[in-house]
């Protein structure tokens, strides 16, 4: 199975989801990646710090969305509230949308709060895949 986590820029929400899935998932046959609709905005130091506090290994390199990344994906999880499902229509078997809002990268408390929400959603997703 191949899962793709998506948000607007691949600098926060999809990065947290990808790192949490990799941490908590025990089924190594599931392949995980993340991408942003737009690439280019770097992962902020605050996101990296919060990730470290949550024991998540966040890859600093951002990734943009393209046909190659979507091809063969079984499940697209749109972590964001600002990415339309229509982008993935007829391109993947299943789409889940969590509608999690973005946050300014200098608001550590809000980053932590949203990151914890994402981690809990990822844990629920993993349980549902068993």
**CB of 127 within 8 A of CB of 107?**
no
pLDDT at residue 117, rounded to an integer: 97
Judge whether residue 106 has pLDDT over 90.
Answer: no
pLDDT at residue 130, rounded to an integer: 81
More confident site: 130 or 83: 83
Could you report the per-residue pLDDT of 39-89, keeping only the tens digit for each? 878 899 999 999 999 999 998 899 999 888 888 899 999 999 999 999 898
Cα–Cα distance, 126 to 27 (Å, whole number): 9
Cα–Cα distance, 121 to 115 (Å, whole number): 10
How big is the CA angle at 74 (ends 73 and 76), to the nearest 5 degrees? 75
Judge whether residue 6 has pLDDT over 80.
Answer: yes
Cα–Cα distance, 51 to 117 (Å, whole number): 13
Average pLDDT over residues 11-28: 95
Cα–Cα distance, 127 to 130 (Å, whole number): 6
Mean pLDDT score across all residues of the chain? 93
């Amino acid at each position: 199975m191949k899962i793709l986590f998506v948000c607007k820029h691949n600098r926060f929400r999809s990065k947290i989801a990808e790192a949490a899935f990799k941490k908590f998932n025990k089924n190594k046959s599931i392949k995980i990646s993340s991408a942003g609709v737009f690439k280019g905005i770097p992962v902020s130091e605050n996101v990296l710090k919060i990730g470290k506090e949550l024991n998540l290994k966040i890859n600093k390199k951002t990734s943009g969305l393209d046909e190659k990344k979507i091809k063969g994906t079984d499940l697209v999880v749109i972590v964001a509230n600002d990415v339309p499902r229509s982008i993935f229509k007829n391109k993947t078997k299943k789409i889940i949308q969590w509608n999690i809002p973005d946050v300014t990268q200098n608001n550590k408390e809000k980053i932590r709060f949203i990151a914890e929400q994402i981690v809990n959603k990822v844990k629920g997703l993993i349980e549902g895949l068993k």
